[in-house]
Amino acid sequence: MASLEVEGVTVAYGGNRALDGVGIAAERGRVTGLIGPNGAGKSTLFDVVSGLRRPSSGRVLLDGRDVTRMGPARRARRGLARTFQRLELFGRLSVRDNLLVAAELGPERRRAARAVDEVVDRLGLAGVADQPADALPTGVARLVEVGRALAVRPALLLLDEPAAGQDAAETERFAALLRSLARDGTAVVLVEHDMGLVMSVCDEVHVLDLGKVIAAGPPEVIRNDETVLAAYLGEP
Ligand SMILES: Nc1ncnc2c1ncn2[C@@H]1O[C@H](COP(=O)(O)OP(=O)(O)OP(=O)(O)O)[C@@H](O)[C@H]1O
């Protein structure tokens, strides 16, 4: 069963349909890419999935259960975690404390310190663990943001442009991390503009344009899809 199913979701801002009957699915053990030009509706879809925005129609299911009317906290307790396009770290807190605040919100509160140690280890953050977050280069800060989501050991992880600001070596390590999360059984959904990263780590890619899914399939198919190329290049 898919970990996440989105069915016929529509969101309108005034007269503008940010999402128009969108359906996607994401499964455990797989990295699912969500791409599309600026303004396509990717972040709005994450808001709908995480419960920050109620769609005017359509449904969101987590592990087969309809959560469309559930708020963000209840969805988080059901195993959903996300990152934001704009970094949401506490600038004056150390990396470790940023992770701890997140871990303590998770279901395994009593084991928060251990969860933090695991995240520091897994993301290679030991060298910066005691530094304040606002002293970090953007690429490392992005990794801490991902670490905050991982600290609750999510079953479904939504990542909104996690590689923005990472250099080539950081992105390569990040790709390996995404694959290892999928191997451990996490359902990962990746919104990302770095096409090299998307095409190398995703098992499946959904393409949004002007609020509609215009293509879905494995990276090798999406890469050569004429509709997708036209959406990005702005010509048929
Ligand atoms: N709070 C809002 N009020 C009005 N319109 C909005 C709001 N948020 C987003 N929109 C509009 O909804 C559409 C989808 O925006 P969204 O941010 O979801 O796209 P995106 O694919 O995440 O874009 P980007 O790649 O630039 O982050 C755009 O036309 C945007 O202008």
User: pLDDT per residue over 199-236, tens digit each?
Assistant: 999 999 999 999 999 999 999 999 999 998 888 866 44
180: which residues sit within 8 A by CB, 6+ positions away? 122
- The domain spans of the chain are 1-79+154-236, 87-152
Residue 82 CA to residue 123 CA, distance in Å, equals 16
The tokens describing 145, both together, are 């943001």
Q: Please count the other Cβ atoms lying within 10 Å of the Cβ belonging to residue 184.
A: 11
- Classify domain 1-79+154-236 by CATH number: 3.40.50.300
- Phi then psi for residue 207, to 5 deg, are -115, 125
Amino acid 151: pLDDT? 92
223: which residues sit within 8 A by CB, 6+ positions away? 199
Percent of the chain with pLDDT strictly greater than 70:
97
Mutate to test the pocket of ligand 1, among 34, 42, 207 (most ligand atoms within 8 A of CB): 42
Query: What is the helix (H) or strand (E) element at residue 24, kind and residue range?
Result: strand 16-26
| pLDDT above 50: residue 154 | yes
For tokens 């990542």, name the residue.
Answer: 159
Amino acid at 224: N
Termini Cα distance of the chain: 37
Atom number of ligand 1 nearest to Cα 208: 21
Range of lowest pLDDT (21-25, 106-110, 190-194, 213-217): 106-110
Amino acid 2: pLDDT? 64
Are 164 and 10 a contacting pair, CB within 8 Å?
no
Are 235 and 62 a contacting pair, CB within 8 Å?
no
Give, using CA atoms, the residue closest to atom 29 of ligand 1. 39
11 pocket-lining for ligand 1 (C-beta < 6 Å): no
38 pocket-lining for ligand 1 (C-beta < 6 Å): yes
Backbone torsion region of residue 12, taken as left when φ is above 0, otherwise alpha when ψ lies between -120 and 50, otherwise beta: beta
The tokens describing 196, both together, are 């090299």
CA 174 to ligand 1 centroid distance, Å: 26
Are 120 and 113 a contacting pair, CB within 8 Å?
no
CA 69 to ligand 1 centroid distance, Å: 22
Percent of the chain with pLDDT strictly greater than 90:
83
Residue 164 CA to residue 142 CA, distance in Å, equals 8
Residue 88 CA to residue 142 CA, distance in Å, equals 10
| pLDDT above 80: residue 52 | yes
Q: Model ipTM?
A: 0.94
Angle at 230 between CA 228 and CA 234, to 5 degrees: 130
Contacts 24+ apart (CB under 8 A), 13-17: 17/211
Residue 3 CA to residue 15 CA, distance in Å, equals 32
In what side-by-side order are the strands of the sheet with 65-66? 16-26, 4-13, 57-62, 65-66
Give, using CA atoms, the residue closest to atom 12 of ligand 1. 18
HSE, side-chain direction, 13 A CA sphere, residue 38: 0
Q: What does the pLDDT average to over 71-97?
A: 92
Give, using CA atoms, the residue closest to atom 14 of ligand 1. 41
Atom number of ligand 1 nearest to Cα 43: 22
Residue 9 CA to residue 42 CA, distance in Å, equals 12
